[in-house]
Structure 1
Amino acid sequence: MKHHYLFVSSWTIGTPREQLWELADHIENIDFWDNVNFEKVEQGSGPEGIGDVFRCTFKTKMLFRLSILLKVTDKQKPDQFTLEVEGPLSGIGTCFMSKTDDGQSTMLRCEWKVRIHHRLLRTANRAMRPVYIWSHDKVMDEGVYGLARQLNAEVTNAHHETTIYR
């Protein structure tokens, strides 16, 4: 499948990796991310939640809501997890968590390879690319800063890169 975008976002969060993993391992309980809701809609048959499906509904910075399905396809505790995305956006998302040298902080890197299926978003894709990228980066930052508030942690080294395929 050809993707329209590769979004890569990274942050350093002043909390041990195990604390981040616990939250990621139970995304249906996340309540610190403004305008984003996760609901478990299907119990997977694999170990450690492999195959679980979540509906993620979020308000974009473009002031409308999108709802996508996220299926857990891989978990390598506590280093990374991978989600398959279906709906108006489809693709693969992988988040990597690594300890900093002192072990007190975690480097979080998320890669989203997505294709747009939503008719209006796809039609406007070429003209709206800068807005899509800005909206994605803002929504991701809000999640990480909400996470940091919940854990009473500091966020540093926020960085976003986007590759556009078409």
Structure 2
Amino acid sequence: MATYSLTTIWYLDAPIIRVFDTLGEAPRWPDWWPNLIAVEERDVGANDGTGRVYHYTWRSRLGYRLCFDIRVTRVVRPWFIEGVASGDVCGVGRWRFSEQGGVTRVCHEWQVHTTRPWMNRVAPLARPLFVWSHHAVMRDGAQGLARRLGGPGS
């Protein structure tokens, strides 16, 4: 199995609470994240969001799809969200938020391994392409979220 440890940083010209709340509405992500085909809520979890389960269907920049569930395991509003992934990828994802001067910094950490046999077979050669695709999808997300929030972002 191929393991990936990926970090993405976004800077958004919006208050932290607005960014946090918008990212907390995962079923609405396809409205602004072009690579996300669908999000289905499978378990509502607790009032703070822990225990919530979402099923995601993503389209990579290389044309393949990834489907996986995320179970939200920890929420510290408006600073932190953590979830455990299972499906085509398994592992942990974390969103960390901070704000300075009205600009919100979002750090996404993705520590996963792939479970699809074809991905694991080609990973020794295709890893740079998979990493490139991940970062391109994340850039698309930053741009979409910045538009959603009504300001510039990276």
TM range (shorter): over 0.9
Q: Is the 2:95–2:107 Cα contact (8 Å) retained in structure 1?
A: yes
CA deviation after TM superposition for structure 1 residue 71, in Å: 0.7
Moved more, 91-100 or 20-29: 20-29
The answer to whether the aligner puts 1:154 opposite 2:152 as a matched pair is yes
Unaligned runs of 5+ in 2: none
Structure-1-length-normalised TM-score: 0.87
TM-score, structure 2 normalization: 0.94
> Which 5+ residue runs of structure 1 have no aligned equivalent?
157-166
Match of 1:15 in 2: 14
More relative contact order, 1 or 2 (CA 8 Å, 6+ apart): 1
Pairwise CA RMSD: 1.4
SS in 1 for 2:14: coil
What is the number of residues matched between the two proteins? 152
User: Does the Cα contact within 8 Å between 1:3 and 1:113 map onto a contact in 2?
Assistant: no
Q: Where does residue 90 of structure 1 map in the other structure?
A: 90
Amino acid at match of 1:33: W
Q: Go from structure 1 to structure 2 and tell me whether the alpha carbon gap of 1:78 and 1:3 turns closer, same or farther (over 3 Å shift).
A: farther
- Rounded Cα–Cα distance in structure 1 between residues aligned with 2:2 and 2:99: 30
Conserved in 1, the CA contact under 8 Å of 2:7 and 2:107?
Answer: yes
CA distance in 1, matches of 2:79, 2:2: 25
Aligned residues of 2:2 and 2:123 also touching (Cα < 8 A): no
Partner of 2:40: 39
Q: Indicate the SS of the match to 1:63.
A: coil
> Could you report, residue by residue, the CA deviation over 1:54-95 in whole angstroms, capped at 9, with x for unpaired residues?
011010111021111011000000001001100010000001
Q: Alignment partner of 1:49: what SS?
A: coil
Q: Which amino acid aligns with 1:69?
A: D
Counterpart in the other structure of 1:110: 108
Determine if contact 1:33/1:143 at 8 Å carries over to the other structure: yes
Q: Which moved more, 1:10-19 or 1:26-35?
A: 26-35
Between the aligned partners of 1:95 and 1:110, the Cα distance in structure 2 is 5
Separation in 1 of the partners of 2:105 and 2:49? 23
Alignment CA distance shift 1:8-1:63 (3 Å): same
Distance between the aligned counterparts of 1:10 and 1:108, measured in 2? 6
Pair 1:26-2:25 in alignment = yes
Structure 1 residue 3: Cα displacement: 7.1
CA contact (8 A) 1:3 1:91 kept: no
Residue identity in the other structure for 1:148? A
CA distance in 2, matches of 1:138, 1:70: 21
Q: Percent identity?
A: 25
